[in-house]
Structure 1
Amino acid sequence: MNVLNNTDINPQPSDAPLALNGLSESTRNAAEAFIAAGTAANTVRSYRSALAYWAAWLQLRYGRTLGDGALPAEVAVQFIVDHLARPGADGSWSQLLPAQLDAALVAAGVKGKRGVLAFNTVNHRLAVLAKWHRLNEWENPCAASAVKTLLREARKAQARQGVVLRKKTAVVLEPLQAMLATCTDGVRGVRDRALLLLAWSGGGRRRSEVIGLQIEDLRQLDADTWLYALGATKTDTGGVRREKPLQGPAAQALNAWLDAAPAFSGPLFRRLYKGGKVGTTGLCADQVARIVKRRAALAGLAGDWAAHSLRSGFVTEAGRQGVPLGEVMAMTEHRSVSTVMGYFQAGSLLGSRASSLLTATSPLGPAPGHSTETPTQGNPEKPDS
């Protein structure tokens, strides 16, 4: 039986055959919607911010609208020299971007303040421009050898002049204990203690992963052991749920939080209101960073603290304690060995004999007037905010 001959096919205009060499507007919009839905909210915001800056800078610098077509490599080169500080003959540092354009970018609200940008910021905006070109199926100007060479040499020049890439301070065991010691302020302290210990002991979780956890993601094995399930993350976008353990003090802190704020569904970590009332709305990513900074301040800890301090601190401490790299990466879900090794090596070298040749056990002994005891961290009383 020939089905085609017995089927009345009367295609409507909207059902007309598609062109083989291009995408319809509806298909392109659907593809872009998939990409947006599969991208973390923080990443989407950073992309939008970077593209807004590119649009403003292009309009001011070239009188051109972003999206008119592919940009040549020369534009990427100009962007680098406009925004990165470069050393002059007299030892001063400057940028090529004219002062009036710099002021206009600030006035437009796409730039926080006048002056040069950090290397990481320039690098990120070039990466966003590259992705913009790939999505539009245009030739990528950032892939040109001239751009890559300039960026590499600019980084080296800054490094030689003492301009280093700053990293957030890692929360290793001692500062973590100091932060936890401040968690005595009622329900807020119970919540913050559970959050800090889950994010740290649970594998150095990213802030997006912490705020994404739901009550339904938890499974208790016994009084001192919980399992929590991760879905799609920055490095594992497949959505397959992977369970991670939470044991000992971290499990006990979670028990205390669930007792203080019982719930059967919804966000695990929720906002608090006046009088210690627990709301139903989950924390946002910025609030995780504020909790880390607040607890560090209450503990009197000096450093540049952020939510990422918990992740880098977990890896660094694992290196200090000699945990095999494979076990660490199984918990953190890092996919790049080079990324995790920077923190892991720093931690492991702290316990290396090669880094402690001049110790109290060395024939040379400590330097005159130098104590080998580690000073304890203070915990001054500071007002709650």
Structure 2
Amino acid sequence: MTDHDAIVLGAGAAGMMCAAVAGQRGRRVLLVDHADAPGKKILISGGGRCNFTNIHTAPDRYLSANPHFAKSALGRYTAADFSALVDRYGIAWHEKTLGQLFCDSSARQIVAMLEEECARGGVAMALGQGVSAIDHADGLYRVKIGDSEHRAPALVLATGGPSIPKLGATGFAYDVARRFGLSIVQPRPALVPLTLGPEEQLFQSLSGVSTPVEVRWNRTRFREAALFTHRGLSGPAMLQISSYWQHRTPIHVDFLPDRKGEWLIDEKRARPRATLRRVLGEALPERLADALLDRLAMQGDLGALGDRALRHAGAQLSDWAFHPSGTEGYAKAEVTVGGIATANLSSRTMEATKAPGLYAIGEAVDVTGWLGGYNFQWAWSSGWAAGQAI
């Protein structure tokens, strides 16, 4: 039996951050993961370059049953703080669109940095070993790993959610949380492609076509690229809206967000002999323009089309309703919406109010960020907060 000050379950972004911070504060930390190497989700992120944070990080970029929960952690360990850590390791990075920060070279640099931070804190690692039992008695959490038992007054759940099961992701953190009396906000796939049913098969034939759009669900809007796939809709805009979308409700797409009002009528007056197909093909990818015109059942020269018909077409193109049949599920989801309820946790320390010494951080918690580095920043911030507390 081995004693520690804290046992951290999950050697991903949040877990490594927590373990490193606690270790460098003098705590004896054991970091456990069933995978044989740490940071596997980090390695595949951002196309292998890790979109490690976003300079526009703010609490309103996160979904949670309690929209105020993330404020404390995000305010105490910021995107600038993590960027400064990256800079101290000499890792070159660049800003892409919408405040997204990526490594110039490889996500492996971020994993190596976190490994070194853990080493500086004297963190012990138990990798490639599953947890077979967890108990609590006399103020200590007992965790059985393989044939050995480890004890600590603090246990941190950092095993994420069930998204990307090919990396071994499961709902393990939820099971442990429930065992200690914590409630779970129903989890579902997020940042995930949407599927379309047979009635919208026409659009599935556009696989590979991408175009900038503004997509809306209720009052939530995102303006980014949409990508048609053989199963439905993907691309940044659709991944973003998927986190909000609810089954059996439509999403609305503005295919021409820069064309407002009666632009088709203006085009008619400027060049009446131009065909509607040509005008739309100049504004959109031709395959998409053809599919939309097929649905609108409109063809011919602009001059031969009535203003009322053109006005109707413009309105349709700016507010096209899709009725997704579902999503591509956890296998293609980048993250999970829902998880361990924030009502059970301290927003400052991430400690469970009903189970002293038990902490939950990162994706395991009901805090889910937008696409673009926000979820990594939540991992760093929540991991830092717990690491300061244990």
Specify which structure has the bigger relative contact order, considering alpha-carbon pairs within 8 angstroms and separated by 6 or more residues.
Answer: 2
Return the index of the structure with the highest Cα Rg: 1
TM-score by length of 1: 0.24
Higher strand fraction: Structure 1 or Structure 2?
2
